Chain A
Amino acid sequence: EDQVTQSPEALRLQEGESSSLNCSYTVSGLRGLFWYRQDPGKGPEFLFTLYSAGEEKEKERLKATLTKKESFLHITAPKPEDSATYLCAARPGGSYIPTFGRGTSLIVHP
């Protein structure tokens, strides 16, 4: 069964304190690993797609990396506006349906 597990469930950081979020996946023939940001009461907002181990993508203070078993979302010098839930999703080969993790709730204190 395809599974996506995110850790930690919640993370509190001080402004400027860098950290990483983890996404472990077990899917057959990964066809894409996706990161989304979700603000309270809003729909998830697409951030990155990674396709193969070793690939990296960056956007402002966020950098996503991918290995054969997990992906990391690195947050460098976060600001309070980075506070949100970050969702990871993996699409298995032969399916058009990504499986989502439960997310990591990030709070950045000023």
Chain B
Amino acid sequence: DSGVTQTPKHLITATGQRVTLRCSPRSGDLSVYWYQQSLDQGLQFLIHYYNGEERAKGNILERFSAQQFPDLHSELNLSSLELGDSALYFCASSPRTSGGGGELFFGEGSRLTVL
């Protein structure tokens, strides 16, 4: 158990819909990362937050957005869903206090299926 909690574990929805994925980092970790993992793409970095502030963006689509709240939990919002958005979405937290970037501790992931 990494200490990172993600909900929901599984989600099935239809094209055009919107979903929200939630992540609670390990106690004391200020950094939260979101990654997407699909069979043909591997682990792709989406976005990084540190202590409530966005620090870096990867290949995150405009239809996707995220935020980190004062209690440090984070949410990833996916809208206008397409079949190609079906993937595992991972949240990870980092123990580094200077903005993250060290080893990452991953949650169990949220498996999104878009039909």
Q: Which residues of A contact B103 (CB under 8 A)?
A: 32, 34, 46, 49
Contact with A along B41-57 (1 / 0, CB 8 A): 01101001010000110
Interface of B is mostly: strand
A-B contact pairs, 12 of them (CB 8 A): A32-B101, A41-B88, A42-B108, A43-B90, A43-B106, A44-B43, A44-B90, A44-B92, A97-B48, A97-B101, A98-B104, A101-B42
A31-B101, A32-B102, A43-B90 are known contacts. Are A97 and B109 too (CB-CB below 8 A)?
Answer: no
8 Å CB interface, B1-53 against A: 2, 4, 31, 33, 35, 42-43, 45, 48, 50
Tally the A-B contacts, defined by beta carbons under 8 Å: 61
Contact of A43 among B2, B56, B99, B101 (CB under 8 A): B2
Known: A43-B106, A43-B107. 15 other contacts (CB 8 A): A31-B101, A32-B103, A34-B103, A34-B104, A41-B88, A43-B2, A43-B90, A96-B31, A96-B55, A96-B101, A97-B101, A99-B45, A100-B35, A100-B43, A102-B42
Cβ-neighbour of A97 out of B56, B88, B105, B111 (below 8 A): B56
Instruction: State the CA gap A2–B92 with chains docked (Å).
Output: 21
Interface centre among A49, A96, A103 (most CB of B within 10 A): A96
B42 contacts which chain A residues (CB < 8 A)?
Answer: 100-103
By size class, the interface of chain A is: 20 to 34
Kindly state the separation between the CA atoms of A41 and B103 in the bound complex, as whole angstroms: 20
- A57-94 vs B: 1/0 string, CB under 8 Å? 00000000000000000000000000000010001000
Task: Indicate if the CB atoms of A96 and B99 lie closer than 8 Å.
Answer: yes
Q: Please, which residues of chain B bring their CB within 8 A of the CB of A103?
A: 42
The verdict on A45 contacting chain B, using a C-beta distance below 8 Å, is yes
